[in-house]
């Protein structure tokens, strides 16, 4: 296995093309205090791992429950790093770590955070070091586009490949940082606790709303996903994650809702997709009934499986019916798209529908039903 110095500081030749920068130089550009100085290391010659030849994979929406069981059984620790999708998967992990921080106790904005990344990597197989290079390159590009910094990074040889990410507060400004430029995405005197501010389990309020907010506007694809791994599907394409400006808008408005105590519950949509996130929110006696009609119309997707298991970063939130108009106004102001999926129901489990009704019709029916109940 390659040692830390070789992996970080070595010169890379991938598919016969010499890369201009080492991983250390790319990552150091995001650190206020660059870590190790450059020193000579042997060239690393490798090939880009290609996705397996695409094969037709038909998804049966009637098997969504079975798919969910497989994905939940796999879990994050057993999800093999998809080397052929190294760049988009790295961006997913970064987005997921940042969204996870949304729910924590404290007072902060996205610009107050930094990222600490540790690559634990197996360099033995052909293509693995090319995948590491693309992962580091993608991380540097994505973090920079978000306007964030690295507080720390490292590489450790390992029998398996994965990335560990944490999101500490960014404590100091470098000489090249302009405080006025950063002001819109920073808060005064930020603080961050390790404990959650926002519960992640659904409150049993049948009139409350379960709402999905994707933090990306990309297409829903299953390449590199947990579902793809459980079905032994190594081909396809992954979601193209990278719209930093939209991510910032989504992040700021949801964080404000958390700090204001508007939400009843919240959960990150990341690895495992929307369905896995919803399953985490359900309890033994509290389930959910959701309708994907609006999301299917907005995305043009005809099947529910792709929407439910594609790993597009986002958030699932629950809020009171009385706060719906406030949420609508806040998201409209930031030009953030959202999808009211449905309501809590008694009993565990999730019912998934895809009706022809649009969101406005569903909301109107809910209001009419509430009005009728008030007349009794």
Domain range annotation of the chain: 197-376
- E strand or H helix at 373, and its extent? helix 359-375
pLDDT of residue 181: 46
Question: pTM for the full model?
Answer: 0.90
Phi, psi of 83 (to 5 degrees): -55, -35
Q: Which two three-digit tokens encode residue 108? A: 């902060």
Cβ proximity of 257 and 263 under 8 Å: yes
Question: What local confidence, expressed as pLDDT, does residue 376 receive?
Answer: 43
The per-residue pLDDT for 258 is 97
Phi, psi angle pair for 257, to nearest 5°: -65, -40
Exposed/middle/buried for residue 48 (C-beta within 10 Å: 0-12, 13-18, 19+): middle
In CATH terms, is domain 197-376 a member of 3.90.650.10? yes
Residues 6+ apart with CB under 8 A from 114: 148, 149, 150, 151, 167, 168, 169, 170
Identify the CA nearest to 262 among candidates 201, 329, 320: 320
Report residues of the chain scoring pLDDT below 50.
175, 179-181, 183, 364-376
Angstrom distance (rounded) from CA 228 to CA 202: 28
What confidence tens digit (pLDDT) does each residue in 14-23 have?
A: 999 999 999 9
DSSP per-residue string spanning 334-360: TT---EEEEEEEESSSEEEE--S--HH
Eight-state DSSP code of residue 11: P
pLDDT at residue number 368: 41
DSSP one-letter code for 113: B
198: nearest Cα among 114, 315, 80, 24: 315
* pLDDT value, residue 55: 59
Instruction: Give long-range contacts, CB 8 A cutoff, 24+ apart: 282-285.
Output: 282/201, 282/202, 282/348, 282/349, 282/350, 283/201, 283/202, 283/348, 284/348, 285/204, 285/346, 285/347, 285/348
């Amino acid at each position: 296995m390659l040692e830390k110095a070789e992996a970080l500081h070595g010169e890379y030749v991938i598919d016969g093309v010499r890369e201009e920068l080492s991983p250390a130089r790319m990552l150091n550009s995001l650190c206020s205090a660059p870590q190790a100085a450059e020193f000579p290391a042997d060239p690393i010659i490798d090939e880009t791992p290609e996705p397996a030849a695409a094969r037709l994979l038909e998804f049966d929406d009637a098997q969504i429950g079975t798919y969910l069981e497989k994905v939940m059984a796999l879990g994050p620790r057993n999800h093999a790093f998809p080397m052929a999708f190294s760049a988009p998967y790295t961006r997913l992990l970064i987005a997921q770590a940042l969204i996870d921080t949304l729910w924590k106790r404290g007072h902060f904005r996205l610009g107050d955070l930094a990222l600490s990344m540790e690559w634990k990597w197996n360099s033995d197989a052909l293509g693995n070091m090319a995948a590491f290079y693309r992962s580091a390159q993608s991380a540097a590009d994505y973090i920079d586009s978000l306007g964030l910094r690295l507080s720390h990074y490292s590489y450790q040889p390992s029998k398996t490949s994965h990335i560990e990410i944490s999101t500490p507060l960014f404590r100091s400004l470098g000489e090249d940082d302009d405080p006025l430029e950063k002001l819109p995405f920073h808060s005064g005197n930020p603080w961050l606790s390790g404990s959650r501010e926002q519960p992640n389990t659904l409150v049993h309020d049948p009139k409350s709303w379960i709402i999905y907010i994707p933090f990306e506007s990309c297409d829903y694809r299953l390449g590199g996903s947990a579902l793809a791994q459980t079905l032994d599907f190594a081909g396809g394409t992954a979601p193209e994650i990278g719209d930093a400006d939209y991510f910032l808008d989504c992040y700021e408005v949801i964080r404000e809702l958390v700090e204001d105590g508007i939400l009843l519950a919240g959960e990150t949509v990341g690895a495992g997709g929307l369905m896995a996130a919803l399953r985490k929110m359900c309890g033994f006696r509290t389930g959910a009934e959701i309708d994907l009609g609006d999301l299917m119309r907005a995305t043009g997707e005809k099947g529910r499986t792709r929407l439910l298991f594609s790993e597009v970063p986002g958030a699932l939130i629950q809020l009171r019916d009385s706060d719906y108009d406030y949420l609508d106004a806040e998201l409209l102001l930031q030009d953030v798209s959202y999808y009211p999926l449905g309501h809590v129901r008694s009993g565990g489990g999730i019912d998934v529908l895809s009706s022809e009704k649009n969101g406005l019709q569903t909301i109107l029916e809910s209001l009419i039903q509430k009005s009728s109940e008030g007349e009794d």
